[in-house]
Amino acid sequence: MRRIGWVLVILMTITAAVSAGQKQADIIKGLNPKYQDWLKLVNYIILPQEKDVFLKLNNDRERDLFIETFWKMRDPTPGTPENEYKEEIIKRFNYVNKTFRRGSTREGWQTDMGKIYMILGPPESIERFEGVNGIVPCQAWTYHGDPEKGLPPVFIFIFFQRHGSIEYKLYDPLIDGPASLLQDKRGLDGLTYEELYEKILEIAPTLANTAISLIPGEFSYDYSPSPRYNLILADILNSPKKDVNPSYATHFLNYKGVVSTEYLTNFVDSESMAEVILDPVTGLNFVHFSVAPKSVSVDYYEPRSQYYVPFQMDVSLRSKDKIVFQYNRNMSYYFSENDLPRIQGNGLALEDTFPVAEGSYQLTVLLRNPVSKEFTILERQIEVAEAGNQPRLANPLIGYRTEKFARNQHLPFKVDDTKILVDPKNTISASDILAVSIGVLNLTESLRQNGKIKVDIRGLGQNNQLTRTVEINLNEKEFSRVSNYLREIPVRDLIPDYYELKLSLLDGAGNQLDQKKGTFIISPEKTIGHPIVQAKSFNLGNLFYYHYMLASQYDKLDQTDKAAYYYEQAFRQNPQFKEGLKEYCQFLIKVGQFDRVLEMAEGLKTDDSQAFDYHLFRGLALMGKKDMAGAQDELLKAITIYDSDTRALNALGRVYIQTGQKEKARQPLEASLRLNPDQPEIRKLLSELDKR
């Protein structure tokens, strides 16, 4: 039964793959011929993800932009007008279609010779065995491989006329075997690999070695073909794809409606990181993130004799398909000519932070550089755990240096009064300090008195046996439910390698209560240039901003009790903040606290610039209290001030319906639909009016 089950799984997998392939083939048939030709041109160099995205594009404009981006990602000299790689691929394509079509029913690029030529270009040398008595017509192509792509220094392909065909096929020493290269097959069945090798050696000595392995001189003890053949061949066939990051393709598809077309062809890869940190000063969870584009284009501002980069940042937090939180920010950075080499050498890291409600989210940070019309993306799945009651550790925050700031100044990657300078590459050098910030949550007084944190550092390399342990007594700090412990550890004696940092929270008896891990890299360089940080600080005297942010998040997550708590906290901290007050009123309307809305709206009464919202919220609250006459009066006053708000128009239309003024209801409802056609409920109301 188990075997039948596996067979069914395999059959289902094959069926799904065939179905997907057929679907792609059908899409390709429907494309403009020039795009069909382009897919043939790039068949051996395009990544599966790139092809999948290309076939999902909706129009020729998008396809043209994608093709432009495709070649840019492979341009060996991006600063020049020529793209040598693109020109080389086109040159190869034209050559193979002219040269290798002879004797084949397929186009030249589809033949075995055409495939290898498209991937590797012309061979270093070709040895022909055509007209050699006893040998099937064949050719041996020698190539020099690129070790950086995992290829052997030298390898040789054999192409032969299998079974008397005119077209030359790629020889496989495992499947075809040395006997297939001999013309006279009589008496070969019983021969060993060594005997077959000796037979070929007598006729064509240079061919004999290649008949056993791709790599000259690589023999097994019995001369059997090397089992590494398929692995080496796979590396060779995939070599054009190894240096291409396919993320640009998925970004092209996902952000073509968000990023303007002029940016889409200029995706820049980046190093990035994101951490959730429970702030001991405010008691709130914050997302901290850093994005360091791998290239930075700068402009010059002549009036101030300064260089600058006017980065624009868009941040969104999504729970499943719902956007829970979003904002945008200008992150412009100005610097002098003296700093230009450092910026160009080290790069810039854009950092920011915001409070976050408990839950599981997709964090997206879109960073645009208007100077070069470039963009980059940070995408992370983040988890924000419930506070709970049991003592536990936060994930370690690892950096290469620390800086001190006032406790009421909130900054990215700052805990208490210390900012950890982080590098998104997670790499430090011997001249840096391993700075580790360790948070302990739900700390009890008993655990503080007797417990400790054990920090174990271990090299991960096969030849790196180095370990180091640091112990931290929890009673070194005054009691707080959320406490943070900082250690700066010299790394001069750590050899270049990958390292694991393991934290263990131990009680007084040595029992492990929790464990967390982190990693870092020690660079072989004595000194490395870390990206220059660009971040903005926030004065915690304005904590009400953060509370409004959290209230809005909880509201969107339908956690009304927590939303109400944070709205009230924010309002009490600053009753004069009108934008927050209006947001609070909108929430109170939603949860049906109409008397509280009437009370809150009085805070808008004396400000002429808030007159529309004053009458709007009063109208909505009176409507909720079934005072239709009062609601109509307030809503008409609001619309007199501003007649393009769908909330006011929809509410007035509903009031007219409730009071039997059906003809009057039509005008505000139709006006609302003109402003926003995507309102199915309002369309339904109008449809019902038409039936009456």
- pLDDT computed for residue 1 by the predictor: 45
Question: In which band, very low, low, confident or very high, does the pLDDT at 18 lie, cut at 50, 70 and 90?
Answer: low
| 321 vs 143, residue with greater confidence | 143
Residues 339 and 235 in one domain: no
Q: Please spell the DSSP secondary structure of 454-476, one letter per residue.
A: EEEEEE-STT---EEEEEEEGGG
Distance CA 75, CA 69 (A): 10
CA-based nearest residue to 552, from 312, 275, 354, 352 = 354
* Secondary structure in 3-state letters for 408-448: CEECCCEECCEEEECCCCCEECCCCEEEEEEEEECCCHHHH
Statement: residue 6 has pLDDT above 70: no
Count how many residues are written for the chain: 692
- pLDDT computed for residue 9 by the predictor: 53
- Say if 384 falls within a structural domain: yes
Q: Could you tell me the CA-to-CA distances from 637 to 604, 616, 630 in Å, in that order? A: 15, 8, 11
> What mean pLDDT do residues 611-632 have?
97
Distance CA 208, CA 173 (A): 11
Q: Please spell the DSSP secondary structure of 243-302, one letter per residue.
A: T--THHHHHHHHHTTTS-HHHHT-B--EEEEEEEEE-TTT--EEEEEEEEESS---EEEG
Q: Provide the 3-class DSSP secondary structure of residue 144.
A: strand
Statement: residue 7 has pLDDT above 90: no
Q: pLDDT tens digit string along 534-559?
A: 999 999 999 999 999 999 999 999 99
Q: Please spell the DSSP secondary structure of 637-681, one letter per residue.
A: HHHHH-S--HHHHHHHHHHHHHTT-HHHHHHHHHHHHHH-S--HH
> What mean pLDDT do residues 376-399 have?
94
Domain that holds residue 337: 268-536
Residues 207 and 142 in one domain: yes
- pLDDT computed for residue 489 by the predictor: 92
Residues 277 and 227 in one domain: no
Of 536, 557, 590, the last residue of a domain is 536
Residues 282 and 200 in one domain: no
Question: In which band, very low, low, confident or very high, does the pLDDT at 649 lie, cut at 50, 70 and 90?
Answer: very high
Residues 161 and 213 in one domain: yes
- Say if 48 falls within a structural domain: no
Question: In which band, very low, low, confident or very high, does the pLDDT at 192 lie, cut at 50, 70 and 90?
Answer: confident
Residues 276 and 232 in one domain: no
Calculate what percentage of the chain has a pLDDT beyond 70.
Answer: 97
Residues 229 and 281 in one domain: no
Statement: residue 3 has pLDDT above 60: no
Of 506, 536, 566, the last residue of a domain is 536
| Amino acid code (one letter) for 265 | T
Q: pLDDT tens digit string along 19-61?
A: 556 678 888 988 999 999 999 999 999 999 999 999 999 899 9
- Say if 109 falls within a structural domain: no
Beta bridge partners, 258, equal none
Residues 443 and 360 in one domain: yes
> What mean pLDDT do residues 304-311 have?
90
> What mean pLDDT do residues 371-377 have?
92
Statement: residue 445 has pLDDT above 60: yes
Of 516, 536, 556, the last residue of a domain is 536
- Say if 57 falls within a structural domain: no
Residues 684 and 636 in one domain: yes
> What mean pLDDT do residues 173-190 have?
87
Neighbours of 661 (CB within 10 A): 14
- Say if 263 falls within a structural domain: no
> What mean pLDDT do residues 484-500 have?
92
Q: Which CATH number characterizes residue 341's domain?
A: 2.60.40.10
Statement: residue 436 has pLDDT above 90: yes
Residues 343 and 395 in one domain: yes
> What mean pLDDT do residues 333-360 have?
93
Angle at 104 between CA 101 and CA 107, to 5 degrees: 50
Residues 310 and 448 in one domain: yes
- Say if 199 falls within a structural domain: yes
- Say if 249 falls within a structural domain: no
Statement: residue 103 has pLDDT above 80: no
- Say if 586 falls within a structural domain: yes
- pLDDT computed for residue 147 by the predictor: 85
Neighbours of 616 (CB within 10 A): 28
| 187 vs 630, residue with greater confidence | 630
Give the chain's mean pLDDT.
91
Distance CA 399, CA 523 (A): 14
Q: Which CATH number characterizes residue 668's domain?
A: 1.25.40.10
CA-based nearest residue to 329, from 284, 272, 289 = 289
Domain count, the chain: 3
CB 341 within 8 A of CB 360: no
Residues 504 and 440 in one domain: yes
Distance CA 36, CA 109 (A): 14
